[in-house]
């Protein structure tokens, strides 16, 4: 009887997960800090309009967007270090920020693997694995958000850093943070996320 109940609960959870669009209730205020708020809002609207959304694939899309943004930003910052005449405090801020972004990108990569494991647990109807991988996804995404925010709040919060380098980081980094927060929101919004809270 217990095995049947767990199987039924897992089936209901998976059904709800597949039937629910995790971005359907998303408000536009998440885009306020984006470098291009209008493009951000349009991207979210496209997700809202999809009639049949695979929540795992939606999370993958958002994470891949974040990875792309992270790798572009890392390439730009590495270029600054090699080809610009930076002041010592700018160099230190960029190094700290690069380390933070590298850690954040690593967490996003781990999250993508966990989404695959989550999907496998769904197919096998393994509730314990399902909840375990959900917890890992939430942990790594939140770690990524916190690490990325440290770039703005710590590395570039030092005095004397006003200028082109800081402006460019403050223009580009929020898109990466927003993508990561959107993935956190998507997993929190889905039934497996709330069950593990």
- Give 64-88 pLDDT, tens digit per residue: 888 888 899 899 888 888 888 888 8
Taking residues 94-121, report their average pLDDT.
90
pLDDT at 171 over 50: yes
Examine residue 11 and state whether it is found in any structural domain, yes or no: yes
Examine residue 28 and state whether it is found in any structural domain, yes or no: no
Examine residue 91 and state whether it is found in any structural domain, yes or no: yes
For residue 171, give the CATH number of its domain: 1.20.140
| Residue 109, domain extent | 2-20+38-195
pLDDT at 150 over 60: yes
Cα–Cα separations (whole angstroms), residue 4 to 1, 14, 180:
5, 15, 36
Query: Percentage of the chain surpassing pLDDT 70?
Result: 75
Going by pLDDT thresholds of 50, 70 and 90, the confidence category of residue 21 is very low
Instruction: Give the pLDDT score at 194.
Output: 43
Instruction: Give the pLDDT score at 26.
Output: 53
pLDDT tens sequence across 43-59: 777 665 554 556 777 77
Examine residue 30 and state whether it is found in any structural domain, yes or no: no
Examine residue 27 and state whether it is found in any structural domain, yes or no: no
Examine residue 110 and state whether it is found in any structural domain, yes or no: yes
Q: Which long-range contacts (CB under 8 A, 24 or more apart) does 7-15 make?
A: 7/125, 9/127, 10/122, 10/125, 10/126, 10/127, 10/130, 11/125, 13/127, 13/130, 13/191, 13/192, 13/195, 14/122, 14/125
Taking residues 158-179, report their average pLDDT.
82
Examine residue 76 and state whether it is found in any structural domain, yes or no: yes
| Total domains, the chain | 1
Q: Count other Cβ atoms within 10 Å, centred on residue 170.
A: 14
């Amino acid at each position: 009887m217990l095995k049947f109940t767990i199987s039924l609960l897992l089936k209901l959870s998976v059904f709800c997960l597949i039937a629910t669009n995790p971005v359907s209730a998303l408000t536009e205020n998440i885009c306020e800090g984006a470098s291009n708020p209008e493009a951000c809002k349009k991207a979210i609207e496209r997700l809202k309009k999809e009639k049949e959304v695979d929540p795992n694939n939606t999370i993958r899309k958002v994470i891949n967007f974040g990875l792309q943004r992270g790798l572009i930003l890392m390439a730009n910052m590495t270029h600054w270090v090699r080809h610009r005449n930076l002041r010592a405090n700018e160099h230190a801020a960029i190094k700290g920020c690069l380390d933070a972004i590298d850690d954040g990108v690593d967490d996003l990569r781990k999250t993508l693997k966990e989404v695959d494991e989550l999907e496998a647990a769904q197919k096998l109807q393994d509730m314990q694995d399902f909840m375990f991988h959900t917890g890992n996804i939430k942990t790594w995404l939140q770690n990524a958000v916190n690490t990325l925010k440290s770039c703005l709040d710590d590395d570039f919060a030092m005095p004397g850093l006003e200028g082109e380098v800081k402006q460019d980081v403050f223009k580009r980094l929020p898109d990466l943070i927003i993508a990561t927060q959107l993935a956190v929101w998507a997993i929190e919004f889905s039934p497996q996320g709330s069950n593990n809270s």
